[in-house]
Amino acid sequence: MITDDISRGEACLLCFEDEQATATAAADAAGLPLGVISRHRFPDGELRLKLPQALPAQVVLWRSLHHPNQKLVELLLAAQTARTLGARHLTLVAPYLAYMRQDMAFNPGEAVSQRIVGQFLAGLFDSLITVDPHLHRVVTLDEAVPVNDAVVLSGAPLLADHAASRRNAPLLMGPDEESAQWVGLAAGRHGWDHAVCRKLRRGDHDVSIELPALPVAGRAVVLMDDVASSGHTVAQATRQLLAAGAASVDLAVTHALFAADAVQLIRDAGVGEIWSTDCIAHPTNAVSVVPAVAAVLRQLTGSDGPAPR
């Protein structure tokens, strides 16, 4: 619930107006008062933020980091202002965590953005909660973002349960090798067959897919991944699965980035249903990470439970 006197109590949750619906649900479930940060954009693109006038010692800031570049500046301004207004411990809830894929310099001169952005966030926040971060060579979140408490949740079990309600014993498949961790977790929950495709990427929109040896003819296939962005990898995999005799192909994805015409591209390739979590608000959202995040927030903040209505 939103309150004018947010400084009362031990903790609160702050959000921006474009994520107010999800943040309100999380605040209510975690038993935290909610404050909304207002923004004004000047003609030259600079931002003016306004936070509640006084804050409790523990502050949680909800900000999913799709379209990250402006949002990272927002976090800089909001976090440092929160410290001046009474916050002593800051937790960032970033259901989608940007800049995690570039964990090394693949070519001479490249910025290792994971390391840089991770250090930037660690300089602002004491704790971090995220969902299915795109970690590859770096195994744990606290290696990428060295905060005191780095909590990783997963959308895979939620998506698996939803898929189970929609399809009978589907074949779960990842569009590339990097999806293996989420596919394995989800398949193990229900004892499903699972496999991953092999991907060769030559550019952002130029990929080729090699299907695994596991037979797909007559099977209901669910493609699962942490992120769907351009849609080209999913589209390639779908066309090949249908050509190999799959009865149907659906898509389950934690982070529905879906740039430009990605959804249409995927549907044109033959994908039936698309299910995503609400880490990023999108019409395909089918399951919510809010209960899982709220449970962690109750532990971190010492809240007793859902806020009274």
Given the residues 199, 255, 282, 298, the one annotated as active site: 199
- Count Cβ neighbours within 10 Å for each residue of 220-248 and write b for 16 or more, e otherwise: bbbbbbbbbbbbbbbbbbbbbbbeeebbb
Cα–Cα dist 167/185, whole Å: 18
Written as one string, the DSSP assignment of the chain is -B-S-TTSSSEEEEEEGGGHHHHHHHHHHHT--EEEEEEEE-TTS-EEEE--SS--SEEEEE---SSHHHHHHHHHHHHHHHHHTT-SEEEEEESS--S-S--S-SSTT---HHHHHHHHHHHH-SEEEEES---SSS-SHHHHS--SEEEEE-SHHHHHHHHHHHSSSPEEEESSGGGHHHHHHHHHHHT--EEE-EEEEEETTEEEEE--SS--TT-EEEEEEEEESSSHHHHHHHHHHHHTT-SEEEEEEEEE---TTHHHHHHHHT---EEEETTS--TTEEE-SHHHHHHHHHHHHT--SSPP-
Question: Is 50 tagged catalytic?
Answer: no
Catalytic residues: 199
